[in-house]
Chains A and B, each alone.
Chain A
Amino acid sequence: EVQLVESGGDLVQPGRSLRLSCVASGFAFDECAMHWVRQAPGRGLEWVSGIGWSSASINYADSVRGRFTISRDNAKNSLYLEMNSLRPDDTALYYCARAPRGFYTHMDVWGKGTTVTVSS
């Protein structure tokens, strides 16, 4: 079964750091681009960051650039999001998603998400 499972979400204070993980199974992880997408409570979807299959292509939304770092370990079928200098407006459900045909196209498999809450 094709599956993405996120973990690492937590309640953290503003200014602190957190690392999210996403473990993939059931498909050739090293052939797919991957993305992080977040959804604040009661709000719409917001693209956060994406990474190509070889990590050669990486980009970020303006709202997180310079604070968040995306990475992947193809040997472990894992995607990561290192989040630094967290702010209250980073509070959201964070999804990882697969982009099977390249960085800039559609996302066809999504995880259930992991919740990040930034509050003092």
Chain B
Amino acid sequence: QSVLTQPASVSGSPGQSITISCTGSSSDDDDYNYVSWYQQHAGKAPKLMIYDVTYRPSGVSDRFSGSRSGNTASLTISGLQAEDEAAYYCSSFTSSSTLAFGGGTKVTVL
């Protein structure tokens, strides 16, 4: 069973780059081949931003990118903009055949 840990908050100034980490508790790297990232603005439904660790759905800005090293996945937002202020959640398949979400990271644009 994987638990996904994210920082509670990350902040940055407009134009800067920020990175949100998502660390899993499972030691099996194969558990993290399908990490996805979701953006959720206040009062709105989540929106898929990244899937399969690094892939961007059509229509998502190329300022958003994903990566992974071992059991830690990361979402990087480049050229931070005011509209990027939102909560971000990582998600992954678990070894018990369920899905898990990280606790969420609130991104603040200073």
Interface residues of A (CB under 8 A from B): 35, 37, 44-47, 50, 59-61, 95, 97, 104-108, 110-113
Contacts and interface: CB of A to CB of B under 8 A. Distances in A.
Nearest to A50: B99
B52 A104 contact: no
B98 A106 contact: no
B101 interface: yes
Contacts of A37: 46, 101
B100 interface: yes
Contacts of B38: 45, 107
Interface stretch (B20-28, B67-75, B76-84, B89-97): B89-97
A112 B46 contact: no
Nearest to B89: A45
Given A46-B101, A104-B34, A104-B97, A111 B57 contact: no
Nearest to B58: A108
Interface in B22-63: 34, 36, 38, 40, 45-48, 51-52, 57
Residue among A35, A37, A97, A113 with max Cβ neighbours from chain B (10 Å): A37
Contacts, number: 60
A113 B44 CA distance: 9
Instruction: Sort chain B's interface into a size bin.
Output: 20 to 34
B89 A104 contact: no
Given A35-B99, A44-B89, A59-B98, A110 B51 contact: no
Contact of B48 (A45, A46, A104, A108): A108
Contact of B46 (A60, A104, A105, A110): A110
Q: Top 10 nearest A-B pairs by Cβ distance?
A: A106-B51, A106-B36, A104-B93, A44-B104, A110-B45, A47-B99, A45-B101, A108-B48, A105-B34, A44-B103
B48 to A, nearest CB: 5
B52 A106 contact: yes
Nearest to A104: B93
B81 to A, nearest CB: 22
Given A45-B38, A105-B93, A106-B36, A95 B46 contact: yes
